[in-house]
Chain A
Amino acid sequence: MIKKLFMRDFRNFSEVSLSFSDKLNVLTGENGQGKTNLLEAIFFTGMLRSFRTSRVADMKKIGSQSFYISCEADSDGKWTKKLEIEYGELRKLKIDSSIVKKASEFIRNLMTVAFSPDDIAIVNGNSRIRRRFIDICISMESPSYMSALLEYSEALLSRNRLLRSVSPDIKILRAFEPVMAEKASVISKYRLDYSELLKKEMQKILCDYMRDETDFDIRYRNSSGTFSKDEYMNKFEKERNKDILRKMTSFGPQTDEFDFFLNSKLLRCFGSTGQCRFISLCLKMAELNLLLKTEENIKKAVVLVDDVTGELDSRARDYFFKVINRAGQTFFTFTSVPTDKYFKEASIYKINSGRVASLYV
Chain B
Amino acid sequence: MSSKYPEPLKELVDFLKSLPGIGLKNAERLAFSMLKWPQDKLEAFGDSVKNLKSSVTSCPECGNLSSEGVLCSICVSASRDRSVICVIEESLQIYTIESGGLFKGVYHVLGGKLSPLSGRGAESLTTDLLHRRVSFGGVNEVILALSPDVEGQATSVYISEILKDTNVKVSVLARGLPAGSDISYADSATIAAAISGRKSL
A-side interface residues toward B, CB under 8 Å? 102, 104-105, 143-144, 147, 151, 154-155, 157-159, 161-162, 165, 169, 171-172, 174-179
Contacts and interface: CB of A to CB of B under 8 A. Distances in A.
Describe B's contact surface by its main secondary structure. helix
B188 A172 contact: no
Given A151-B150, A158-B151, A162-B116, A174 B157 contact: yes
Contact of A171 (B115, B117, B150, B162): B162
Given A143-B188, A172-B121, A158 B150 contact: yes
A155 B113 CA distance: 13
Contacts of A143: 188-189
5 contacts: A144-B189, A154-B150, A165-B116, A174-B161, A176-B150
A62 B4 CA distance: 35
A297 to B, nearest CB: 16
A104 B157 contact: no
Interface of B: 114-117, 121-122, 149-151, 153-155, 157-158, 161-162, 187-189, 192
Contact of A176 (B122, B149, B154, B189): B154
B150 A155 contact: yes
B118 to A, nearest CB: 10
| Interface hub of B122, B158, B162, B189 (most chain A Cβ within 10 A) | B189
B153 A179 contact: yes
Nearest to A165: B116
B121 A169 contact: yes
Given A157-B117, A158-B150, A172 B187 contact: no
A166 to B, nearest CB: 12
Nearest to B160: A175
B87 to A, nearest CB: 14
A161 B116 contact: yes
A179 B158 CA distance: 12
B155 A175 contact: yes
A330 B149 CA distance: 39
Contacts of B151: 154, 158
B150 A178 contact: no
Contacts of B192: 144
B116 A178 contact: no
Contacts of A165: 116
B150 A179 contact: yes
A170 to B, nearest CB: 10
B157 A144 contact: no
